[in-house]
């Protein structure tokens, strides 16, 4: 990098929440001949300002997926200090923002060097990092306040572990992810009743190896907050669990709900449609929940999802009859994105979709749906 680029990059690292240094850096690298990197930064900054069902996201998913994922980087990743790696590397707003911790003890020793390397605000802690032994040091470090997101996998955080994080005077977290035995039921209960719960905007759990009743009971015990995004993938949730979950005051402001790979079946999906707690919901992802005709009917007839913009019903064994109910429902009028991929809807289902009253629909995903060429042409014309 030139001296000017280096100074601007340091500003990006020093002020990771600000967009202005990133956009000035984009102008600088474009003037130096790297138009691709400049475009990536500008597009990702713009994407971060709008919801994922916005027309800009739709255009990028269709025409330029690299603008979202940043796979084809035009520049090398910077060298991280000892104890960290770019495994699971993620970009946000045009720059590297998540690193993986190889040795948790490295954080307090190397935090300054880490944050000077890139505008990192998220860390992933695998079990091998030994994070449980060093949570106290992590939570007591002023550098902990720089972090907005933590990802844990196979770490088995218990009640005291979560309390240590939640009671940190520097905690500035807004996003948490737990994957595969990453948190116990007692740990999740501690999270729901900790100061962290009131400031979280995103919570993700995948394959948590917890009894569904304990998982849901913990989440339902939280008070109201600002949680906007909840992902509970492959958690073994049943209809009764979903019904209880939606009674939680913590979920009253949700705009994004992902319940994929849970055996909800018709009753579980119907509970979502019948709930009055999801008035703010814009994204609903129900892949592999097997809603059956009754669940589709309940969604189709629901007056309780007035803001829904994205509906994912992929891989649910839905046939033409279910698609007919959906296509003729009023819920289609608000949708911008509808994912029906990997369902045997066939040409008959495609014909129902072609007749749907869906004035806002920009993305209709129909991969592996058994639709012939003429039917696809009718849908895209």
Interacting residues of 30 by C-beta distance below 8 A, sequence separation 6+ = 37, 38
Q: Is the pLDDT of residue 380 over 80?
A: no
The reply to whether the predicted model has a pTM over 0.85 is yes
**So what's the pLDDT on residue 378?**
45
* Separation CA 241–CA 250 (nearest Å): 15
Q: State the average pLDDT over residues 287-316.
A: 95
Nearest to 265 by CA among 214, 224, 316, 230: 316
* Separation CA 277–CA 281 (nearest Å): 9
**So what's the pLDDT on residue 73?**
77
Model pLDDT for residues 338-365, shown as the tens digit of each residue = 999 999 999 999 999 999 999 999 999 9
Q: State the average pLDDT over residues 61-83.
A: 86
Cβ neighbour number for residue 10 with a 10 Å cutoff: 12
**So what's the pLDDT on residue 375?**
54
Q: State the average pLDDT over residues 7-18.
A: 96
* Separation CA 116–CA 110 (nearest Å): 10
Model pLDDT for residues 222-281, shown as the tens digit of each residue = 888 899 999 999 999 999 999 999 999 999 899 999 999 999 999 999 999 999 999 999
From the number of C-beta atoms within 10 Å of its C-beta (0-12, 13-18, 19+), residue 365 rates as: middle
Write the secondary structure of 57-73 as one string of H (helix), E (strand) and C (coil).
Answer: HHHHHHHCCHHHHCCCC
DSSP state of 78: P
Nearest to 22 by CA among 73, 93, 77: 93
The band of 379, judged by pLDDT with boundaries at 50, 70 and 90, is low
Model pLDDT for residues 114-148, shown as the tens digit of each residue = 999 999 999 999 988 999 999 999 999 999 999 99
Nearest to 114 by CA among 93, 141, 94, 75: 141
């Amino acid at each position: 990098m030139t001296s000017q680029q280096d100074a601007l990059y340091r500003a990006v690292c020093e002020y990771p929440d600000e967009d202005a240094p990133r956009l000035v850096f984009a102008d600088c690298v474009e003037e130096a001949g790297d138009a691709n990197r400049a475009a990536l930064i500008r597009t990702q900054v713009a994407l971060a300002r709008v919801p994922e069902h916005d027309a800009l996201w739709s255009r990028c998913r269709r025409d330029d997926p690299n603008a979202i994922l940043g796979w084809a980087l035009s520049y090398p990743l910077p060298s991280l200090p000892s104890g960290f790696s770019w495994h699971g590397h993620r970009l946000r707003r045009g720059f590297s923002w998540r690193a993986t911790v190889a040795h948790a003890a490295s954080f307090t020793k190397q935090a300054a060097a880490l944050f000077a390397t890139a505008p990192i605000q998220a860390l992933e802690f695998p079990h091998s990092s030994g994070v449980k032994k060093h949570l106290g040091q992590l939570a007591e470090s002023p550098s902990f306040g720089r972090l907005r997101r933590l990802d844990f996998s196979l770490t088995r955080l218990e009640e005291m572990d979560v309390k240590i994080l939640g009671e940190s005077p520097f905690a500035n977290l807004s996003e948490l992810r737990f994957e595969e035995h990453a948190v116990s039921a007692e740990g999740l209960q501690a999270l729901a009743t900790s100061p962290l719960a009131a400031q979280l905007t995103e919570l993700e759990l995948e394959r948590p190896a917890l009894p569904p009743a304990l998982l849901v009971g913990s989440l339902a015990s939280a008070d109201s907050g600002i949680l906007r995004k909840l992902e509970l993938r492959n958690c073994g949730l049943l209809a009764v669990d979903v019904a209880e979950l939606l009674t939680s005051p913590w979920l009253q402001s949700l705009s994004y709900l992902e319940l994929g790979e849970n055996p909800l079946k018709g009753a579980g999906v119907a509970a979502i449609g019948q709930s009055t707690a999801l008035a703010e919901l814009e994204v609903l992802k129900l892949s592999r929940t097997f809603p059956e005709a009754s669940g589709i009917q309940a969604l189709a007839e629901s007056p309780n999802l007035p803001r829904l913009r994205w509906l994912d019903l992929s891989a649910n064994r839905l046939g033409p009859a279910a698609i007919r109910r959906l296509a003729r429902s009023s819920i289609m009028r608000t949708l911008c994105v509808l994912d029906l991929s990997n369902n045997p809807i066939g040409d008959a289902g495609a014909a129902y979709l072609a007749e749907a009253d869906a004035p806002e629909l920009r993305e209709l995903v129909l991969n592996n749906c058994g639709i012939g060429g003429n039917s696809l042409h009718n849908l895209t014309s």
